[in-house]
Amino acid sequence: MMKLQQKTSLLAIFLFGTLAVLITAISLVSFRQFSLSTASEQVRTVAEVVRVSLTEAMINGVIDKRGPFLKRLAEVEGLLVARVMRSPEVVRQFGQGLDGEQTVDAVEKRVMETGVPFFGIVNDEINPIFRGTIPFIANQTGEPNCLQCHSTPNGAVLGAITIHISMDQLQAKALITIAIMTGIIVVFAILLTIFFRRQMSPVMATAIEVQGVVAKAKDGNFVGRIQYTGDDEMGDISRDLNQLMEHLHDSLGTITHDVSKLLRYEAEGNTNLITTTTEMVETLLEISQFKQAVEEDRTKSEVYFRIAHVLREQFGIRTGTLYEVSSPGMNHMKPVVVDGELDSTCKWCNAEILFQADSCRANRTGHIIDSIETEMICSQFKHILDNPGLGHICIPVFHSGTVGNVVQIVVERTHGPMYQRLLPFIAAYLRESAPTVEAKRLLDTLRESALRDALTGLHNRRFLEEYVGTLEATTKRKKSRLSVLLMDIDHFKEVNDVFGHDVGDTVLRVVAKALGAQVRTSDMVIRYGGEEFLVILQEGEEYSGERMAEKLRMAVAALKIPVSSGIMRKTISIGVAGFPSDGEDIWEVIKYADLALYDAKHSGRNRVVIYTPKLSNKE
């Protein structure tokens, strides 16, 4: 690309060259016109001299001696031809004349016919010759009177004279003059070009410096400055641009520093301030939008899934685990998201960490564990030996000063350095989500505690009230059956009265534990109230309410409950009803199970009674 200085020089050369060409062309045209005009005047002068001489010769009677005169006239320097022709009227009156006067060319014939003189160049190639053919016209005025000798009317053409003049001398003089003028113009143009370049040099130098400063600024480097210190407009531009660069350097540097502190990201010294600041501000905006989204999520599972989505879409992380660390003292961890899937099994770490959370190095130390930087730093990573090409980075996420989550990133070791650079941004997302996760975990804990019986640890009646609608809808959609087992500890009031409430609480806890040990995890054991328990189970071919009720009765009857005075044994009575076979909603079925329980207690206790419509009639 052509530089500005080269463009300026070429422009000056073009302008002054064009001016020189124009002046030369104008001079050539002007000198040509001047030469033609001068030659025309010379021809007229010679023609007038010839006319006067011929007239005098005619008056003096020596017209026949005109030949030598014309011959001597042709010998004048620069005068090539001087030839006189008679018109037809003069020929008729005085004869043919001299030999040279008898030959008439087309131009001379036209001039004598029209009386209009002719002037022009007749040889314009190498030796230009100017020709002039001028008519002699009869005139009765003046002295002598032409009509005194010629028998022609006034205004008639008596003859013509043709004169050829060499243009060599005029041409040479013109060329010399033009050459001198052109030389003067060229010298003047060179001097003006040199002066123009000297005047433009500071502008060119400043423009080059401006280009360099702006080029650096495009790359985020605002330390460039212009050295021009003049008092003209370029000086003002230089000072303003220097102030702008200084302001941008200070402002962007401050913004980058502040944003880096927010992200806990150390920007390298040679980074592009514009690009780095823009990326960090965009990241802050995205993190802010992410924070608003997680705050609007209903459950912590939704938040966990959103975190996994961000890791996958924003950072390309598709393998790894998001762990939830139990509350202090429980020493448990559980994987909540594995490779982007909710509620998956532990895949990338040994199962030991699930029951001994302190075996997880990130959880125990609260530091980022980076096997890309330090290979085999954590022995709990499953693929240390069988797949050495994989590495992991584990990031602890703090909730109120303790580790609440651990985010594990599993990547190819060759890609590790890229994710190491992304760590500050990933950690920023996790920090912003931490308060929301902690709050939702706390709400889940509070809600769980409100839905559980504090004494036995079983779900309470409030839990059933919240869950019963979902339970009914699910059962109807799957077209399955439920068994509702309502049971009561026989003669429990006597325990409290005789042994006290502490022993009564012990009995409740032991019975609750026995009931929970007999059912499946998908079944529900609820402390319904006082010494009453409710079991809701999904029926199957080998799993009916009647069989389970008998199994529970026998398990409780086999219990040996230690008390201060020895061993206590207790029994339970159970009423069983089915949904939807016995009722259209769960509460109605519970009512029927209560009727069956009432019948069991009044028919001897320690037994199971299955609801039939006869019990309703009996009631």
* Inside any domain, residue 31: yes
Looking at the structure, do residues 283 and 307 belong to the same domain, yes or no?
A: no
Mean of all residue pLDDT scores within the chain: 82
Q: Is the per-residue pLDDT at 124 higher than 60? A: no
Work out how many domains the chain is built from and give that number: 4
Residues 328 and 228 in one domain: no
CATH number at 544 reads 3.30.70.270
Determine what percent of the chain is predicted with pLDDT higher than 90. 29
Clarify whether residues 378 and 487 are in a common domain.
no
Arithmetic mean of pLDDT, 43-65: 74
pLDDT score of 515? 94
**Lookup: tokens for 353:** 């960490």
Least confident of 102-116, 257-271, 509-523: 257-271
Please classify residue 122 by burial: count the beta carbons closer than 10 Å to its beta carbon, then call 0-12 exposed, 13-18 middle and 19+ buried.
exposed
Greatest CA separation for the chain: 192
pLDDT in tens, 347-403: 899 989 998 999 999 999 999 999 988 888 988 988 766 777 889 999 999 988 899
Highest mean pLDDT among 82-96, 237-251, 539-553, 592-606: 592-606
pLDDT given at position 335: 92
Residues 125 and 14 in one domain: yes
Predicted pLDDT at 276: 72
pLDDT at 125: 57
Query: Do the Cβ atoms of 536 and 484 come closer than 8 Å?
Result: yes
pLDDT at residue number 347: 87
- Looking at the predicted structure, is the pLDDT value of residue 142 above 70? no
Of 449, 480, 496, the residue that ends a domain is 449
Among 319-323, 437-441, 597-601, name the one with the lowest average pLDDT. 437-441
- Closest Cα partner for 277 from 254, 309, 293? 254
Both structure tokens of 362:
């990130």
398 vs 441: CA distance, rounded Å: 13
| pTM for the predicted model, two decimal places | 0.53
Whether 224 has a pLDDT exceeding 90, the answer reads no
In a domain, 187, yes or no: no
Q: What is the mean pLDDT of residues 494-509?
A: 91
pLDDT at 266: 63
**Residues 326 and 371 reside in one and the same domain:** yes
pLDDT score of 51 more than 90: no
Residue-wise pLDDT for 553-565, tens only, equals: 999 999 999 887 7
Q: Percentage of residues in the chain with pLDDT exceeding 70?
A: 88
Q: Which of 163-172, 326-335, 522-531 shows the highest mean pLDDT?
A: 522-531
Residue 172 pLDDT level (bands cut at 50, 70, 90): confident
Q: Which stretch of DSSP H or E encloses residue 8?
A: helix 4-60
- Alpha carbon distance 506, 142 (integer Å): 167
Kindly report the length of the chain.
Answer: 619
Q: Strands 459-460 and 524-529, how do they pair?
A: parallel
Domain that holds residue 271: 221-296
All residues at 6 or more sequence positions from 322 whose CB lies less than 8 Å from its CB, including other chains: 304, 307, 308, 335, 336, 337, 338, 405, 406, 407, 408
What CATH code is carried by the domain that includes residue 348?
Answer: 3.30.450.40
Between 1 and 500, residue with greater pLDDT: 500
Dihedral sign for Cα atoms in the order 285, 291, 296, 302: positive
CA dist 297 and 25 (Å) reads: 87
Same domain? For 119 and 96 the reply is yes
Confidence tier at 98 by pLDDT (50, 70, 90): low
In a 10 Å sphere around its CB, with 0-12 CB exposed, 13-18 middle and 19+ buried, how is residue 414 labelled? exposed
Query: Looking at residue 543, what DSSP letter applies?
Result: B
283 and 413: one domain? no
Together in a domain, 114 and 153: yes
**Residue 64 covered by a domain:** yes
CA distance 582 to 589: 6
Q: Does residue 28 sit within a domain?
A: yes
Among 251, 266, 296, the domain-final residue is: 296
The 3-state DSSP composition of the chain as helix, strand, coil percent (nearest 5) reads 55, 20, 25
Q: Is residue 310 domain-shared with residue 277, that is, in the same domain?
A: no
Q: Are residues 342 and 485 in the same domain?
A: no
Query: Do 312 and 380 share a domain, yes or no?
Result: yes
Task: Please tell me the distance from the alpha carbon of residue 432 to that of residue 292, in angstroms, as a whole number.
Answer: 10
Chain CA centroid to CA 330, Å: 49
CB half-sphere exposure, 224, CA atoms < 13 A = 19
In this prediction, residue 607 carries a pLDDT of 94
Examine residue 191 and state whether it is found in any structural domain, yes or no: no
One domain for residues 289 and 304: no
Residue 289 has, within 13 A of its CA and on its CB side, a CA count of: 6
CATH number at residue 82: 3.30.450
